[in-house]
Amino acid sequence: MNKTRTAAIAALALALPAALAACSGDDDGPVTLRYAFWDDNQRPALEAMIKAFNEDHPDIEVELEQNPWEDYWAGLDSRFAAEEAPDVFWNHVSRFPTYAANGVLLPITDDIEADGVDPAAYPEDLYDSWQYEGDQYGLPKDWDSIALVYRLDALEAAGIDPATVNDLEWNPVDGGAYVEFLQKLTVDANGNNALSPDFDPENVVQYGTAMSSNTGQTDWWNYAVQNGCSLQTEPWGDYAIDAPECVEAIQFTADLYNKWHVAVPAESTNQPNGGVPGDYVVPGQAATTLDGSWMLSFYRDGLEPGSWAVADNPSGPVGSGTVINGLSNAIYAGTDHPDEAWELVKFLGSEEAQSISTGMGSVWPGVSSLNQGFADYWAGEGIDVTGFQTAAEGTTTGYPLSMNDAAFGTAAMDEFNQVWLGQKDAQEAAEAVVAIANAE
């Protein structure tokens, strides 16, 4: 019959033999490190960096363990429980507080000092975001921000000059130039755009934008910053998305779906089943999207060179703004090979390693001096990526820092999915999320 057992039982059952097998010797022979990550786009860069690492460390073999984002954290948590976690893994700001507070991360403060790693090589904010109670728990791997990605053919067909795309403004009252831009790009089967009185919203062949973030990072959080909303009262503080300026941004996002009909419908884009924004832009279902810098290679691999470009984010009532984030490489506190793991993390945080990934156009580097190398790679591909840098230098917000991230994330996806579908009021949903996330 439906041959399933509860996942909990399965995980615990798996933990037994794992515990029995956990005794591996720590002699001087070759050591194997397991290195966990989630982003498929970055795999080639990781492999190249590990190859370079092995030139100096032939005795340390690095095994890549890849799980998609949706399964990554549940898998990591259950392997922490089984005390069988990968030695080194990608860490995310949203999970960092809980991991650091529960002692599953290895502090590297002393190693940094002993080996003379210079924290000034990284942007201060980025480096400091991996600190907890005076200890450092990772070295910055990269940073990312959000910018507007668009298809040139769609703009041409709509008669929009690409030079105007950098200065789009929106407001919650009449939508502003940004919504007008998206309306021109939303075209129905009869060739009418969303500004036309004959426009048929039930029969759209190309939408202006696609929004399918599972948090808000590539959609409504950006409108939130641009409207003066802070997701949290302060870092480590309460969630505050029920404030008027936040609710207004949520309502504006819902309007893009249901009032202006310029976004691929939420029936398709709602997470966890919807695609990534690029899944709608590459086949032409959407003309533009706000997307993260880590996705550039996705567009490069999916679209013809010269058929797409990057522009600045739109500006809202309080100006421009974006969501900024960065990942780190962290070490599992229970690793059998802390010294080798540190060698790997140190290398991955070095200028040498990160120049490999920027040289492949993978991600903006954690090491500040390499930013130009990333921009140069993309200039060589005919893509001007300064939109991401401009965004990062302006007003930004990061992922909320909280121990209640899991409760917040689940409640937000649940509630806002209903708002995007037009089934729930923005204020009511925001209050429900805050009530759940601040309760714990």
Partner 1 sequence: MQTLHDTEPRFEPESAPRKHRRSNAAFEAYAMLAPSILGFAVFLIAPIVIVVVLSFYDWNLLSDPEFIGLENYRELAGDERALKSIGNTFYYVLLNIPAQTVLALLLALALNSKIKARNTFRVLYVLPWMAMPVALGVIWRWVFDPQYGALNRFLDLFGVDGAAWLTDSTWAMPVIASVNIWQYSGYTMLFFLAGLQAIPAQLYEAADVDGASPLYRFFAITLPLLRPAMLFVLITSVIGSFQVFDTIHVMTAGGPAGSTATLNYQIYLESFTQRNAGYASMLAVILFAIIALITLAQAALFRKRTTYDFS
Residues that bind partner 1 (CB under 8 A): 1-9, 11-13, 16-17, 73-74, 77-78, 80-81, 98-99, 102-104, 202, 264-268, 270, 272-273, 285, 406-407, 409-410, 413-414, 417-418, 421
Which pair of tokens denotes residue 199? 């426009």
What is the 3-class SS of 73-86, one letter each residue? HHHHHHHHHCCCCC
Q: How many angstroms separate the CA atoms of 293 and 367, rounded? A: 16
Q: Residue 195 CB, nearest distance to partner 1 (Å)?
A: 22
Q: How many angstroms separate the CA atoms of 373 and 370, rounded? A: 5
Q: Supply the angle between the helices 244-258 and 426-437 in degrees, to the nearest 10.
A: 130
Q: Residue 396 CB, nearest distance to partner 1 (Å)?
A: 27
Closer to partner 1 by CB, 106 or 311: give it: 106
Closer to partner 1 by CB, 369 or 423: give it: 423
Closer to partner 1 by CB, 73 or 199: give it: 73
Q: How many angstroms separate the CA atoms of 64 and 86, rounded? A: 9
Closer to partner 1 by CB, 102 or 369: give it: 102
Closer to partner 1 by CB, 98 or 438: give it: 98
Q: Residue 247 CB, nearest distance to partner 1 (Å)?
A: 19
Q: Residue 205 CB, nearest distance to partner 1 (Å)?
A: 11
